[in-house]
Structure 1
């Protein structure tokens, strides 16, 4: 799933790979998918995009925003977005294919669920996560400082929540999802189920520092090794707490890495480092 580090990586790769290429053909909804979301009629994407030039891509929380003339393509967090050189094999199933004037292309394939939205008028595009992602500061940015974080976590309504619920639900920190959450909490030595109300000042300090440090490192290394980039390569950041590590030993203390289902997803934690 695309989260903050992957969105930043994809945006940078798009700018380096397909910027200034002209779109000469568009195939939308090639493979029907029950949980593929579009803006309006996807069959009109061709009319909207053909002849346009790829301008600039930017990360917006766990999404990638691509400007093409007066139109915007927004790729959501459940989408595999891949570049294909001339002659390279394309995926058999995809929900959007853009072909360029140099015979290269990009494809967007929805995995479990995801959005591929195309629109001209941003005010008419009513997607709450996009709006929040635009309004709230990225945790990697300077605007997401200790004062901002302290105000967020000290809110009375946050105290009854678990740390996972606080960090990765309701878009309190847009783009910070269940995937990057695991290593952040391992770095801070906090169990995902622990209540916000139980955190001491030193725990909050460790959590804030971990958010900044882990996300920055993930972005610097091109995303997590559990996710793929524009070219189909795994990210360079080696996850400490993920499906790849279950049952192995924690590199910090030697404890066993556990997996549980919690709040609609999986959590991974060290049985010794992250006591509940």
Structure 2
């Protein structure tokens, strides 16, 4: 899964690099992956896409709702939740890929699934998303409509003993917001990932909302996170505070050691000093 900041970076780069190119051929599922998902038979992708011109891209805001890269190929739509890479003419192509587009100028675009990923292809005027994948249209944190009132409505009907991580990074309450962006958002708000919603004060919630807005903006405006690669396989310019890469370094705010714990089927990263676990047994 790619997350919200990187979808914006990819869409902008695709619009600058791929728009106007004509697809010569499309190969899907050349290297089968247990968690690579397609619409209908991937063998039909070439029939659907060959001869089509790339006409635009957006970060999951045109036809779906965040957390995807949408590529419009005239009357066909690609919805991608995997990393997307551009290969200039004569560049070496990946040995393994789950989607490969060849363009009329001999350049290529590839998608390679890491853990899991969707590569859907269907007519743009149809709702071709598989059942269970569709997400209700909603504003992203980059839009003015994602205001404090909207944010408050996201959590007010939830169980009060739900953790902050469960609130933000599960159930796609904020589509495209995953475990990758979670940790810096919570560090900036000085909130522990295991904190229960019922322990958060009004000030905590204000800080959390402001951090969601400002941290995601910083990630997008810096070209994505340094833990992720863009269309040209270049790491983003946003320096993550909390990730597997920073665990060996002291906290940037207090100088104490950072910590990693297994939680909810994944890892959480936090600073025990800056993000104390308050009000949780």
The TM-score with structure 1 as length reference comes to 0.96
- Which residue is 2:116 aligned to? 113
1:122 to partner: Cα distance = 2.9
CA deviation string 1:187-230 (max 9, x = no partner): 00000000011000110010000000000000001110000000
After TM superposition, list the pairs within 5 Å mapping 1:91-110 onto structure 2: 91-110=94-113
After TM superposition, list the pairs within 5 Å mapping 1:1-276 onto structure 2: 1-60=1-60, 61-76=66-81, 79-120=82-123, 121-132=125-136, 135-155=137-157, 157-276=158-277
**8 Å CA contact 1:255, 1:272 repeated in 2:** yes
Local SS of the residue matching 1:48 = helix
1:127 to partner: Cα distance = 4.5
Greater fraction helix: 1
Separation in 1 of the partners of 2:133 and 2:251? 35
**8 Å CA contact 1:129, 1:171 repeated in 2:** no
**8 Å CA contact 1:38, 1:116 repeated in 2:** yes
1:124 to partner: Cα distance = 3.7
Separation in 2 of the partners of 1:212 and 1:24? 40
Separation in 1 of the partners of 2:114 and 2:3? 14
1:28 to partner: Cα distance = 1.3
1:123 to partner: Cα distance = 2.1
Separation in 1 of the partners of 2:187 and 2:134? 29
1:68 to partner: Cα distance = 0.4
**8 Å CA contact 1:184, 1:210 repeated in 2:** yes
1:59 to partner: Cα distance = 0.5
1:128 to partner: Cα distance = 4.0
Separation in 1 of the partners of 2:48 and 2:83? 22
CA deviation string 1:84-108 (max 9, x = no partner): 0000001000011111111111011
**8 Å CA contact 2:226, 2:240 repeated in 1:** yes
The TM-score with structure 2 as length reference comes to 0.94
**8 Å CA contact 1:225, 1:234 repeated in 2:** yes
Separation in 2 of the partners of 1:28 and 1:202? 49
Local SS of the residue matching 2:83 = strand
Change (3 A) 1:216 1:129: farther
Superposition RMSD on alpha carbons, in Å?
Answer: 1.1
Separation in 2 of the partners of 1:8 and 1:103? 26
In structure 1, stretches of 5+ residues that fail to align are none
**8 Å CA contact 1:247, 1:258 repeated in 2:** no
In structure 2, stretches of 5+ residues that fail to align are 61-65
1:39 to partner: Cα distance = 0.4
Separation in 2 of the partners of 1:166 and 1:125? 25
